[in-house]
């Protein structure tokens, strides 16, 4: 028996994973998630903060809601949205670091080129 066996992922698992990643794949939705890192906010607040149109913000919030990324609480005239799953912060951090890592590597390669050119 091997130390580590790669788990078999079903077709459904790949679909589900893809959908989840897709929820994070639009700048507007990332802006919304980012804005909600301060805590619960209303749609109007999010509209102001992201600079989007109300209809578009509502639509993206709906997608985030259906993806299970945010929660909604209705009170009076307002809908209050908040992050449903805190593990999202880690996820975004990790992705940011991954990008940063690659950019740093790229930057280093340029520096290396310059220093070997001037050496």
| Site for a second copy, rule CB under 8 A | 6, 9, 11, 14-22, 24-27, 29-31, 34, 37-38, 68, 85, 87-88, 90-92, 94-99, 101-102
For DNA, the binding residues in 54-83 under the rule CB under 7 A are: 54-56, 58-63, 72, 75-79
* Four-CA torsion 18, 20, 95, 103, nearest 10 degrees: 40
| CA 51-91-58 angle, 5° bins | 30
Bin 86: left if φ > 0, else alpha if -120 < ψ < 50, else beta: alpha
Q: Which partner, DNA, a second copy, none, binds residue 104 by CB below 5 to 8 Å per kind?
A: none
State in angstroms the smallest separation of the CB of 3 from DNA: 29
Bin 85: left if φ > 0, else alpha if -120 < ψ < 50, else beta: beta
Interaction mask 80-99, DNA, x per CB under 7 A: --------------------
């Amino acid at each position: 028996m091997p130390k580590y066996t790669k788990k078999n992922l079903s077709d459904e698992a790949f679909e589900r994973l893809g959908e989840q990643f897709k929820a994070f794949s639009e700048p507007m939705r990332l802006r919304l998630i980012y804005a909600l890192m301060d805590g619960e906010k209303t749609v109007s607040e999010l509209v102001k903060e992201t600079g989007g149109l109300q209809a578009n913000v509502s639509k993206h919030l709906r997608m985030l809601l259906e993806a299970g990324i945010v929660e909604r609480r209705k009170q009076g005239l307002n809908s209050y949205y908040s992050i449903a799953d805190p593990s999202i912060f880690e996820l975004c951090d990790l992705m940011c670091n991954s990008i940063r890592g690659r950019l740093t590597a790229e930057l280093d390669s340029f520096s290396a080129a310059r220093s070997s050119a001037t050496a």
